[in-house]
């Protein structure tokens, strides 16, 4: 690789003026941690030639991006061309340990969250935009350190884009992704959450819930026991038992416990697959997180049916999660999360949303962890963009013009077909 090392403003000014003369290096050993290391995978033959990566300390990245946005105006967004990351992350990506921690639980969570977010016909598209996909990719390429950073940046982007995201559903995902320790006792300190956390531990260890745990979850209601036992019968018996059990859950449980139980019961119909996902449609409004729990339980009881679900969606997810990443490869995104935050702040000019196609933009949450995010979520938010007096006036003129065209069309029809027109008027009088 080829390296040019300088201070932040010197590096950006050198790029803007085409004065960079990188030197070939085998590694970054001996390169100072301070400043900016601009890296090219192959020697830049002519200018302009942006580097493939910029190594900057995490605490200095916002300042560096501000310099880049100011002086490199022809390359916008800057991080769609050059990956900005820290030294530790770069070294880990360049020399991976070879230990892949991706497992079927992550796959189940991705599919379950996608089912919660979008209709089945849009499932595959929705998978790439889930919190769980970003977390699964981070787990594979960056380990625990990147997991925490991706979690924090994800929440920051949700707030930045004013994206509606059910708070309790996020807490469920955070719990299942083991993000709970740092979220505070206030979120998970209630008795309900304590019981749910205990149930999750039991599910991880035994892949099932015992009768005592079911009693704790339902407040000593034992009516579910018989229906859980009936899950070993024929297909018809299982579906009937499921419907009756879900009716009990809907009448006795709140959203948190109810969502968990509905997802668990759906998986009990055929453990390890998502075959019975459509049955959750009847409770989706009351228990929005039920598909997440269904996916989690299916992942614990892994079966090839999970990979085959939705025309092989699982196989494609595994392919993308396990795809080898090189930090010197060109970014596959429209913008990085830190630059998106910087541009949206307005301190360096408005963010150019034209790079987002059909309301969907690819954002690199962290190095080599790219996700799809919707910029405008609701019809109300979209219409708000057009509520100006000038637009309203034009729309009124358009309505008048359309009415005039329709009137002329009727007159022309009456002129060309006078008999038919007279008959129509007589029929109308009758």
Residue 138 falls inside a structural domain: yes
41-50, 254-263, 296-305 — most confident range: 254-263
Decide: 153 and 365 in contact? Cβ < 8 Å.
Answer: yes
With bands split at pLDDT 50, 70 and 90, how would you rate the model's confidence at 15?
A: confident
Q: Is 121 contained in some domain?
A: yes
What's the pLDDT score for residue 300?
A: 92
**Virtual CA dihedral for 408, 414, 415, 420, nearest 10 degrees?**
160
pLDDT at 420 (0 to 100): 53
User: What percentage of residues in the chain have a pLDDT greater than 90?
Assistant: 33
Task: Name the strand (E) or helix (H) holding 20.
Answer: none
Q: In this predicted structure, what is the pLDDT of residue 295? A: 95
Assess whether 246 and 352 both reside in one domain.
no
Q: Based on the domain organization, do 229 and 358 belong to the same domain? A: no
DSSP state, residue 374: E
* Residue whose structure tokens are 């913008």: 335
Instruction: Say whether both 201 and 298 belong to one domain.
Output: yes
Residue 228 has pLDDT above 50, yes or no: yes
Q: Which has the minimum average pLDDT: 31-35, 276-280, 336-340, 381-385? A: 381-385
pLDDT of res. 326: 92
In the numeric block, the tokens 């408005």 are attached to 350
Do both 81 and 211 map to the same domain? no
Task: For residue 382, name the pLDDT band (cuts at 50, 70, 90).
Answer: very low
Instruction: Report in angstroms the alpha-carbon separations of 125 from 92, 142, 387.
Output: 29, 24, 30
User: Which DSSP string corresponds to 136-157?
Assistant: HHHHHHTHHHHHHHHHHHHHHH
What letter would DSSP give residue 74? T
Distance between CA atoms of 36 and 116, rounded to whole angstroms?
42
Evaluate whether residue 382 is within a structural domain: no
At residue 89 the predicted structure's pLDDT band, cuts being 50, 70 and 90, is: very high
Please tell me whether residues 203 and 55 are part of one structural domain: no
Tell me the residue range of the domain where 400 lies: 388-429
- The two beta strands, 23-24 and 36-40, are unpaired
The answer to whether residues 14 and 152 belong to one domain is no
Q: Could you tell me if 141 and 289 lie in one domain?
A: yes
Per the domain annotation, does 312 fall within a domain?
A: yes
For residues 361 and 383, is the Cβ–Cβ distance under 8 A? no
Does some domain include residue 130?
yes
The structural domain count of the chain equals 3
Which pLDDT does position 186 carry in this prediction? Answer: 47
Please tell me whether residues 298 and 358 are part of one structural domain.
Answer: no
| Confidence at 19, pLDDT banded by 50, 70, 90 | confident
Which two tokens mark 259? 């969502």
293 vs 418, more confident: 293
Encoding tokens for residue 130?
């889930």
Question: Higher-confidence residue: 15 or 292?
Answer: 292
Give yes or no for a contact between 79 and 277, defined as CB atoms under 8 angstroms apart.
no
Beta strands in 56-159 (DSSP E): 83-85
- Greater model confidence, 342 or 394: 342
- Is pLDDT above 60 for 331? yes
380 domain-assigned: no
In a domain, 379, yes or no: no
pLDDT at 392: 56
This prediction's pTM? 0.80
Please indicate, yes or no, whether residues 42 and 180 belong to a single structural domain of this protein: no
Are the C-beta atoms of 314 and 307 separated by less than 8 Å? yes
pLDDT in tens, 147-156: 889 998 988 8
d(CA 241, CA 226): 9
pLDDT range class, residue 79, cuts 50, 70, 90: very high
- pLDDT, residue 48, reads 59
Instruction: Mark whether 337 and 306 lie in a shared domain.
Output: no
Question: What pLDDT was estimated at residue 111?
Answer: 95
- What pLDDT is recorded for position 188? 64
Confidence of residue 106 (pLDDT cuts 50, 70, 90): very high
Question: What is the Cα gyration radius of the chain?
Answer: 28
Residues 242-257 have a mean pLDDT of 91
Kindly state whether residues 122 and 249 are assigned to the same domain. yes
What mean pLDDT comes out for the span 388-399? 58
pLDDT at res. 182:
41
Supply the pLDDT for residue 64: 93
Whole-angstrom distance, CA of residue 220 vs CA of residue 260: 16
For the cut 70, the answer to whether the pLDDT of residue 2 exceeds it is: yes
Above 90 in pLDDT, residue 316? Answer: yes
pLDDT of 383 higher than 90: no
Both 298 and 167 in a single domain? yes
Give tens-digit pLDDT for 171-212: 899 889 885 444 444 456 678 888 999 999 999 999 999 989
In a domain, 381, yes or no: no
Residue 393: the pLDDT is 60
Give the pLDDT band (50/70/90) at residue 374.
low
CA–CA separation, 143 vs 101, rounded Å?
8
pLDDT tier at 99 (50, 70, 90 boundaries)?
low
Is the pLDDT at 348 greater than 60? The verdict is: no
Place of tokens 């190594």: 55
Domain boundary among 321, 338, 353: 321
Percent of the chain with pLDDT over 70: 80
Q: Mean of the pLDDT values across residues 3-25?
A: 86
């Amino acid at each position: 690789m080829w390296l040019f090392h300088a201070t932040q403003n010197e590096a950006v000014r050198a790029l803007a003026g085409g004065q960079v003369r990188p030197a070939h290096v085998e590694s970054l050993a001996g390169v100072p941690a301070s400043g900016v290391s601009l890296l090219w995978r192959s020697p830049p033959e002519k200018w302009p030639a942006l580097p493939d990566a910029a190594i900057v300390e995490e605490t200095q990245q916002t300042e560096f991006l501000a310099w880049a946005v100011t002086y490199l105006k022809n390359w916008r967004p800057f991080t769609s061309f050059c990956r900005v990351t820290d030294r530790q992350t770069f070294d880990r990506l360049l020399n991976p340990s070879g230990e892949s921690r991706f497992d079927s639980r992550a796959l189940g969570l991705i599919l379950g969250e996608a089912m919660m977010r979008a209709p089945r016909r849009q499932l595959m598209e929705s998978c790439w935009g889930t919190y769980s996909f970003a977390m699964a990719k981070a787990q594979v390429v960056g380990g625990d350190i990147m997991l925490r950073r991706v979690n924090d940046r994800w929440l920051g982007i949700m707030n930045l884009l004013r994206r509606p995201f059910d708070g309790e559903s996020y807490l469920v995902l955070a719990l299942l992704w083991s993000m709970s320790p740092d979220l505070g006792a206030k979120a998970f300190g209630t008795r309900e959450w304590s019981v749910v956390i205990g149930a999750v531990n039991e599910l991880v260890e035994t892949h099932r819930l015992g009768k005592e745990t079911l009693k704790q979850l339902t407040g000593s209601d034992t009516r579910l026991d018989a229906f859980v036992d009936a899950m070993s019968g024929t297909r018809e018996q299982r579906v009937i038992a499921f419907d009756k059990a879900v009716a009990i859950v809907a009448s006795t449980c709140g959203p948190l416990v109810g969502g968990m139980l509905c997802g668990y019961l759906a998986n009990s119909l055929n453990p390890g697959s998502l075959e019975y996902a459509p049955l959750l449609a009847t409770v989706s409004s009351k228990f929005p997180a039920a598909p997440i729990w269904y996916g989690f339980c299916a992942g614990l009881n892994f079966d090839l049916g999970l990979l085959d679900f939705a025309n092989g969606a699982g196989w494609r997810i595994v392919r993308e999660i396990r795809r080898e990443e090189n930090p010197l490869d060109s970014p596959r995104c429209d913008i990085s999360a830190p630059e998106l935050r910087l541009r949206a702040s307005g301190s360096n000019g408005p963010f150019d949303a034209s790079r987002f196609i059909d309301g969907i933009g690819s954002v690199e949450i962290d190095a080599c962890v790219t996700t799809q995010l919707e910029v405008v979520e609701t019809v109300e938010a979209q219409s708000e963009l057009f509520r100006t007096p000038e637009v309203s006036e034009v729309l009124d003129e358009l309505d008048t013009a359309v009415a005039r065209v329709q009137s002329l069309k009727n007159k022309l029809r009456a002129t060309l077909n006078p008999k038919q027109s007279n008959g129509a008027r007589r029929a109308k009088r009758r």
